[in-house]
């Protein structure tokens, strides 16, 4: 163990990330409304798509299978809700805890490591995204938008989306100077939400389709959509690989930055 | 003899080109109350952060409990209590949640953390505020909670960075009383302060720091005996005439010090010095004889007052 500790820098040692989650569970017991509110945005989108656009657009082809427009959009909104939950927690809330409430300073004066804090915070954000994705799945089922039993695989897919965006959000937040920088987050997530093959298939972008593939959300949407239709192709592995790679890189960067920022 | 609790040798902390701590040597024995005294910017807080194993040592060595701070940070922090200069209390949760959740960072089982939290609420006289959200506490209460929280892991060494800065006199005395009790229980205290009375009240031994270096070391009493006279005569002359009056005091007492608002005369017998000044025809607006304090030691060693 001691030799291992010498090889891995102390900031990457993860022993008790669950302590951060425990703190948030206690803190949010009194603020559960804030958490619940995040569920409604994608729900309203879905209802408006179903009531309005759906009747105009008709069916969309997914992997050779024709699906109604609302059933096409719903998995994308589910993935987006996982992204939003993870991003909201890992940016604004993390900024508050890091710079203003100084909760991490307090934690790092104990045996907690920067990696414990980073992993704990990212897991919490992921869980929050997962909560939204899970409730959204319930709504999809209630509205008859579930196409296949494979849809349960949409939950781990959303967990991966949550992990990716929680990691990116946390790492990005370590570079923020103050509240005004949060605007950049909104500016960045809006196009991701709109252009990740969310509302129309990637094929409709023509020769610009490769740009869409840069978006991590696009890979998440593709996974959730595959789960809902139950049609799995080899491309699924590529989507998983991209999301995993981005998550790991973001997590490592987050722990390193936290170390630099708080252990001066 | 066992190794001292803290052994720092040639300890250096640099931030870029700025040297905050410039090669200090410190040893603290178990059970001691040890102080770092100095003005803002002397390097006290940087030293404390290194001792707290949250700030890497730039050069030199630092050992606590016989362990190297560079490689055993987590093991050392497990045995430390830290009260930072600015409260880092969790303002979104209650007073008692602040205590037991912090205990969880030290891997205390939840039941044990809650049992200790209840005890510490008593100690900090906060039992009736147990369910208050921290934001609603007064400054003195927050400080007491910070100290209570730092004790949740039953630390062998308690680090306090400016523990009473910003508190009213009554709150300071309550806090000193609590710290004194801890000392009696055998907890080693290391604190920084720029208050002389605090250092004199709490510290068995202290070092005076200035510009990242240690300029003197000893017990409060021995420092005063070594660097100052038994008494000090403080003379205030009419506005703007202190400077003109100072030279006329030459030869009275051991030494004179001209400050912007008063002239200090260091003498074994303050009353005799005042009589001598009167005999020379000097007419200060006010005159005060007091015992020497660490403030005077600091002034002599650095040529500056602590308020500078």
pLDDT digits (tens, 9 = 90+) for B54-90: 999 999 999 999 999 999 999 999 999 999 988 899 9
pLDDT at A152: 93
Residues of chain A neighbouring B64 (CB-CB closer than 8 A): none
Which 3-state string (H, E, C) describes chain B?
A: CCCCCEEEEEEEEEECCEEEEEEEEEEECCCCEEEEECCCCCCHHHHHHHHCCCCCCCEEEEEECCEECCCCHHHHHCCEEEECCCCCCCCCCEHHHHHHHHHHHCCCCHHHHHHHHHHHHHHCCCHHHCCCEHHHCCHHHHHHHHHHHHCCCCCCEEEEECCCCCCCHHHHHHHHHHHHHHHHCCCEEEEEECCHHHHHHHCCEEEEEECCEEEEEECHHHHHHHHCCCEEEEEECCCCCHHHHHHHHCCCCCEEEECCCCEEEEECCHHHHHHHHHHCCCCCCEEEEEECCHHHHHHHHHCCCCCC
Mutate one of A106, A120, A261 to test the B interface: name it (highest B CB count within 10 A): A106
Domain-located, residue A155 = yes
Domain-located, residue A251 = yes
The domain containing residue A30 runs over which residues? 16-262
What percentage of chain B carries pLDDT values higher than 70?
Answer: 98
Mutate one of B16, B93, B94, B153 to test the A interface: name it (highest A CB count within 10 A): B93
Among the listed residues B162, B304, B292, B302, the one whose alpha carbon sits nearest the alpha carbon of residue B223: B292
Among the listed residues B136, B99, B77, B83, the one whose alpha carbon sits nearest the alpha carbon of residue A23: B99
pLDDT at B295 over 80: yes
Among the listed residues B169, B204, B166, the one whose alpha carbon sits nearest the alpha carbon of residue B187: B204
Q: Which two tokens stand for residue B225?
A: 């005996």
Record: contact A23-B15, CB cut-off 8 A:
no
If one compares A11 and B20, the residue with the highest pLDDT of the two is B20
pLDDT at B34: 96
CA distance A170 to A87: 8
Say if residues A120 and A110 touch (Cβ distance below 8 Å): no
Number of domains in chain A: 1
Domain-located, residue A6 = no
Lowest model confidence (mean pLDDT) among A200-209, B86-95, B299-308: B299-308
pLDDT at A263: 78
CATH architecture label of B229-291:
2-Layer Sandwich (3.30)
pLDDT at A156: 95
**Residue located via tokens 């500016």:** A187
Lowest model confidence (mean pLDDT) among A123-137, B104-118, B244-258: B244-258
Dihedral class, residue A143 (left if φ above 0, else alpha if ψ from -120 to 50, else beta): alpha
pLDDT at A94: 93
Q: Closest to A109 (Cβ–Cβ): which among B56, B77, B97?
A: B77
pLDDT at B198 over 90: no
Mark which residues 121-160 of B lie under 8 Å from A by CB: 153
> Residue A11: CB partners within 8 Å, gap ≥ 6?
A113, A114, A115, A255, A256, A258, A259, A263
Instruction: Per-residue pLDDT tens, chain A, 264 aa: give them.
Output: 444 545 556 666 788 899 999 999 999 888 777 777 777 877 888 888 887 777 788 888 877 778 888 889 999 999 999 998 899 889 999 999 998 889 999 999 999 988 899 889 999 998 988 989 999 999 999 988 998 999 999 999 999 999 999 999 999 999 999 999 999 998 988 888 888 888 888 777 777 777 888 899 999 999 999 999 888 888 999 999 999 999 999 988 988 898 888 877
- Chain A nearest C-alpha distance from B70 (Å): 10
Pairing of strands B6-15, B59-64: antiparallel
Q: Is B91 on the interface with A (CB under 8 A)?
A: yes
Domain-located, residue A76 = yes
Residues of chain A neighbouring B91 (CB-CB closer than 8 A): 101
Residues of chain B within CATH 3.30.70 domain(s) are 229-291
Domain-located, residue A63 = yes
B6-224 CATH choice from 3.40.50.300, 3.50.30.20, 3.30.2450.30, 3.10.129.10: 3.40.50.300
Record: contact A111-B71, CB cut-off 8 A:
no
């Amino acid at each position: 163990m001691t030799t291992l500790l010498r090889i891995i820098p102390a900031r990457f040692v993860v022993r008790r990330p669950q302590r951060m989650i425990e703190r948030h569970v206690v803190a949010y017991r009194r603020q559960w409304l804030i958490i619940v509110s995040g569920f409604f945005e994608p729900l309203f989108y879905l209802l408006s798509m179903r009531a309005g656009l759906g009747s105009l657009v008709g069916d969309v082809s997914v992997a050779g299978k024709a699906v109604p427009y609302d059933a096409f959009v719903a998995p994308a909104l589910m993935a987006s809700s996982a992204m939003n939950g993870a991003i909201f927690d890992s940016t604004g809330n993390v900024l508050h805890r890091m710079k203003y409430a100084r909760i991490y300073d307090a934690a790092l004066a104990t045996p907690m490591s920067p990696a414990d804090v980073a992993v704990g915070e990212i897991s919490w954000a992921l869980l929050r995204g997962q909560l939204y994705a899970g409730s959204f799945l319930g709504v999809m089922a209630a509205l008859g938008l579930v196409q296949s039993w494979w849809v349960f695989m949409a939950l781990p897919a959303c967990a991966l989306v949550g992990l990716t965006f929680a990691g990116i959000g946390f790492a990005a937040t370590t570079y923020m100077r103050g509240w005004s920088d949060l605007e950049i987050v909104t500016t960045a997530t809006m196009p991701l939400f709109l252009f990740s093959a969310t509302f129309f298939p990637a094929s409709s972008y023509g020769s610009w389709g490769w740009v869409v593939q840069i978006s991590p959300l696009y890979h998440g949407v593709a996974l959730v959509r595959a789960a809902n239709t139950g049609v799995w192709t080899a491309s699924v592995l590529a989507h998983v690989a991209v999301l995993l790679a981005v998550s790991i890189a973001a997590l490592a960067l987050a722990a390193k930055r936290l170390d630099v920022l708080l252990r001066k | 003899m066992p190794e001292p609790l803290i052994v720092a040798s040639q300890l250096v902390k640099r931030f870029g080109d700025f040297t905050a701590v410039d090669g200090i040597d410190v040893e603290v024995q178990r059970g001691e109350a040890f102080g770092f005294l100095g003005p803002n910017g002397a390097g006290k807080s940087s030293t404390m952060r290194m001792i707290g194993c949250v700030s890497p040592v730039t050069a030199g060595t630092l050992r606590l409990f016989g362990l190297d701070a560079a490689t055993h940070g987590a093991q050392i922090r497990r045995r430390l209590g830290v009260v930072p200069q600015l409260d880092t209390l969790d303002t979104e949760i209650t007073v008692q949640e602040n205590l037991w959740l912090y205990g969880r960072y030290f891997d205390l089982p939840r039941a044990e953390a809650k049992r200790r939290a209840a005890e510490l609420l008593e100690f900090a006289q906060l039992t009736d505020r147990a369910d208050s959200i921290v934001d609603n506490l007064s400054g003195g209460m927050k400080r007491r909670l910070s100290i209570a929280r730092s004790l949740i892991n039953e630390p062998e060494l308690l680090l306090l960075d400016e523990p009473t800065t910003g508190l009213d006199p009554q709150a300071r005395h309550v806090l000193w009383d609590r710290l004194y009790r801890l000392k009696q229980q055998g907890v080693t205290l290391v604190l920084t302060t720029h208050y002389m009375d605090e250092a004199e009240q709490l510290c068995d031994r202290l070092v005076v720091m200035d510009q990242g270096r240690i300029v003197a070391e000893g017990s409060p009493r021995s420092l005063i005996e070594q660097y100052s006279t038994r008494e000090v005569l403080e003379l205030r002359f009419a506005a703007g005439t202190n400077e003109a009056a100072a030279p006329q005091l030459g030869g009275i007492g051991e030494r004179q010090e001209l400050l912007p608002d008063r002239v200090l005369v260091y003498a074994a017998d303050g009353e005799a010095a005042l009589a001598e000044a009167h005999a020379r025809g000097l007419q200060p607006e006010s005159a005060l004889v007091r015992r020497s304090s660490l403030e005077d030691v600091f002034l002599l060693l650095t040529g500056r007052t602590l308020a500078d």
